[in-house]
Amino acid sequence: MKLRKKLTSLLAMGGVACLALVGCSSGSDAAKTDAAAAPEVHEDLVAMLPDKYADATSLKVGITSTYPPMEYIDEATNELAGFDVDIITEILGRLGLEPEFDIMPKYDQIINAVDTERVDLSLTAMSDTPERREKLDFIDYISSGTMIYTTADSDLAEFEDLCGKSVALAQSTNYPEHIEQLAEEVCGSKDSIEIIGLDTTATAKLQLDQQRADAAVASPESYADMANRQPDTLKPVGEVIQPTLYGIGFSKDNVELREAILASLQSMFDDGTYEQIVNDWGLEAGLLEEPTVNKGEG
C-alpha cells in the first residue's frame, strides 16, 4: 500500500467565538487547542488506510455548526471551531490527512451523506443509537445525554413539574423520543408534555428566552456552555436522562477506514492527547476510558 507524503500544513481551528443566536461561546478561552503545532503523522497508522485513500490529502467530514462547544462558527474568523473540530483534526492529522468539512443543517442529511459515501465520515455530536446503526457504524468518542433546563426564576424543578408544560428541542435529534418516554413514565401519556420541535438547540433556547416554551432541551455540554456564558440565568430540571455516547459515523461499507480512524483515536487515548483536548473544552464529565464501536444504547 502506497504511503502518502507528510502534509506540511493542517487545518488548525480553535478559539472562543460568539454565535449569532446564542451569544459568545465559552469554548473556554480554550478553543485553546492552539493548533500552532500540527499533528504528527504516524506512518503505521497511514498504512492502515484503504487503498482508495492512498493519494488523498483530506477526507470529507459531515458536520453541523450550531452546537457549541462541540461545533460552531467562530465569529472572529468565520471559521468552524469546537471540540469535534479539534478531535477530528488531530485524528486525521496522524493519518497524514486534513478534514474537509461539509456543514449541513440537520443530522438526517448527514446520515444519508455518510451512508451514500458523499462524505467519508461524520463527527458532529451525533448520538450512537440502535436506529442510526441500521445505516451507519460508529466509533464512540465521548459520553453525553439529554438535559432539560429552564430559566432560573421558573417554578419548574423536577420532572413531574413538566406535565402539561411545553418543551422546545431540536427535532432532528433523539430528544423528542426521550421527552415522550419521560412524559409517559412521569405524567402517564407521551402527549402530556408539549414538544416544540425546532431546527437547532440554539433556536430551542430562543423559544425559552422569548417565553414561548416553558423549558428546553440540550446536551449536558451545551447546557454547561450556555450557563457559563449567561451566569445565574438558567437551571436544570431534574437529572440528565438517557445517557448516550457520541459517535463518529461511517458507512457500513467503509470498515477499513473506520478501523484506521479507530487506531488513530486510540493512539490519542494512549498518549494523553484525547484527555488534553477534552480538558481544554471543559468536557471532563464526558471523558471515556477508551473508544468503542457501536456501543451506544439510545
Beginning with the edge strand found earlier in the chain, give each strand of the sheet holding 66-67 in spatial order: 66-67, 71-74, 79-81
DSSP alpha helix (H) spans, the chain = 43-46, 83-93, 107-115, 175-187, 201-209, 220-229, 255-271, 273-280
One domain for residues 203 and 110: no
**183: number of Cβ within 10 Å:** 23
pLDDT by residue, tens only, the chain of 298 residues: 333 322 222 223 233 233 333 333 344 444 444 444 789 999 999 999 999 999 999 999 999 998 889 999 999 999 999 999 999 999 999 999 999 999 998 888 999 999 999 999 999 999 999 999 999 999 999 999 999 999 999 999 999 999 999 999 999 888 999 999 999 999 999 999 999 999 988 899 999 999 999 999 999 898 988 988 899 999 999 999 988 999 999 999 999 999 999 999 999 999 999 999 999 998 988 999 999 999 998 6
Asked if the structure places residue 5 within a domain, the reply is no
One domain for residues 126 and 163: no
Sign of CA dihedral 56, 60, 65, 70: negative
**CATH number of the CATH domain containing 66:** 3.40.190.10
Closest CA to 11 of 35, 42, 46, 41: 35
One domain for residues 27 and 133: yes
One domain for residues 24 and 135: yes
The DSSP symbol for 127 reads: B
Extract the C-alpha cell encoding 196. 416544540
What residue ranges in 128-233 does DSSP mark as E strands? 136-151, 166-170, 194-198, 215-218
105: number of CA atoms within 13 Å, CB side?
Answer: 6
One domain for residues 115 and 256: yes
Q: How many domains does the chain have?
A: 2
Extract the C-alpha cell encoding 109. 442529511
One domain for residues 135 and 193: no
Q: State the pTM of this model.
A: 0.75
One domain for residues 222 and 253: no
Q: What is the rounded CA–CA span in Å between residue 69 and residue 72?
A: 7
Asked if the structure places residue 4 within a domain, the reply is no
Domain endpoint, select from 243, 268, 283: 243
Residue 178 structural domain? 145-243
Asked if the structure places residue 44 within a domain, the reply is yes
Q: What is the pLDDT of residue 268?
A: 98
One domain for residues 271 and 136: yes
Please name the residue that has the C-alpha cell 465569529: 75
Asked if the structure places residue 118 within a domain, the reply is yes
Extract the C-alpha cell encoding 194. 408539549
Asked if the structure places residue 10 within a domain, the reply is no
Angle at 22 between CA 18 and CA 26, to 5 degrees: 50
One domain for residues 135 and 32: yes
Extract the C-alpha cell encoding 46. 497511514
CB of 33 within 8 A of CB of 91?
Answer: no
